[in-house]
Amino acid sequence: MAQHELEPGPTTLHGRFSRELPPTLTIDPGDTVVLSTLDALWSLEPPTEDGSPHRAYEPRREGIDDGHALIGPIAVRGAEPGMTLDVELRALRTGPWGWTRAGLRATPLTERLGVAGQPARLLWDLDREVGVARDQFGHAAPLRPFLGVIGLAPAQAGLHPTWPPRREGGNLDCRELVAGSRLLLPVAVPGALLSVGDGHAAQGDGEVSGTAIECAMEHVELVVRLHEELAIETPRAETPAGTLTLGVHENLDEAAHIALDAMVGLIAEREGMSRSQALALASVVVDLRVTQIVNAGVRGVHALLPTGALDRGPAPGA
């Protein structure tokens, strides 16, 4: 299998999802892609604490480069609608700095919390060798890097914003998608057209301020596979924490229902049981977690089946 390399530049960067964007790279299933990314703001240097301008990538195309700084699109030979793309995250290494912000603009959440128009910015030094982030006030957080955006082009024509997550992935902001994970996404267009970006050095479930520790990614290694016979309706992942099914919807309850519906089906298939039996088992072993509540009015919930939760162990008296 071949290995390919991508760096941020005029032929690889874009800020929209679209089936109409030409691929910057075409690969075969099983190939490896090694790449680096800018942060979500297209920054070339750390943002400032007072919000004054900082150096960012230029030039940017109006209407195309106004979302997250994504690398791609990557076309996969043989990918067709109804198939499933499998993105294995082999390695993730952050850049040396990151940032988190809150309260910059009025939203229902910031108004509810009383912080609308009261901007706060945390600037982080990322010690990759020790695995710790430290902000300007001395707070420390363990590094747990992942990509906030991993997604495929949707079937609908036109240019689509990067902020909301979709059934084809995108801005999922799922903190469990660390190195060693595999994300499965439903293919909607020929070639799949995979794009990635929005590096996060660490994040809590919910991404409650709207940002994680946002950062560039210095090294990302992906192995991209294709499952021709597998059809899924919502993203699924195998992670070090366990198996995930993800639901996204404008309504948080509906997002939870989508994630749970997929998990019940998965357990029923794996265990050879009815959906009612699978739901009863899920009530004991599955955790529902709020993935994020801040992405353009689209909420995310993931159902987590922890690793080993369905292991039967020895029979009584054995």
One domain, residues 138 and 259 = no
One domain, residues 249 and 195 = no
User: Residue 152, Cα to own-chain centre: how many angstroms?
Assistant: 11
Q: How far apart are CA 114 and CA 257, in angstroms?
A: 30
One domain, residues 154 and 94 = yes
* Closest alpha carbon to 168 in 232, 75, 222: 232
The pLDDT value given to residue 193:
98
One domain, residues 81 and 134 = yes
One domain, residues 152 and 213 = yes
* Closest alpha carbon to 15 in 146, 170, 166, 155: 170
Q: Where residue 272 sits, what CATH number does that domain have?
A: 3.10.28.20
The pLDDT value given to residue 318:
52
Handedness of CA 164, 165, 168, 169 (dihedral sign): positive
One domain, residues 82 and 167 = yes
Amino acid at 240: P
**Mean pLDDT, consecutive 10-residue segments, the chain of 318 residues?**
96 98 98 98 94 93 95 98 98 98 90 93 97 98 98 97 97 98 98 98 96 98 98 97 98 98 97 98 98 93 96 66
One domain, residues 116 and 150 = yes
Q: How many helices (H) and strands (E) does the chain have?
A: 3, 21
One domain, residues 205 and 260 = no
With residue 265 as reference, give the H or E element that holds it: helix 252-271
CA dihedral 144, 250, 170, 168 (to 10 degrees): 120
One domain, residues 218 and 271 = no
Q: How far apart are CA 231 and CA 142, in angstroms?
A: 36
Q: Where residue 97 sits, what CATH number does that domain have?
A: 2.60.120.580
Query: What total number of domains does the chain contain?
Result: 2
One domain, residues 44 and 187 = yes
Burial of 113 (0-12, 13-18, 19+ CB in 10 A): middle
Q: How many residues does the chain have?
A: 318
The two tokens of residue 36 are: 């680096």
The pLDDT value given to residue 105:
86
One domain, residues 223 and 297 = no
Query: Which structural domain, as residue segments, surrounds residue 212?
Result: 3-227
315 lies in some domain? no
**Tokens 């945390």 correspond to what residue?**
122
Q: Is 147 helix (H, G, I), strand (E, B) or coil?
A: strand
One domain, residues 286 and 185 = no
Examine the fold and report which residue of 192, 227, 262 is the final residue of a domain before the chain moves on: 227
312 lies in some domain? no
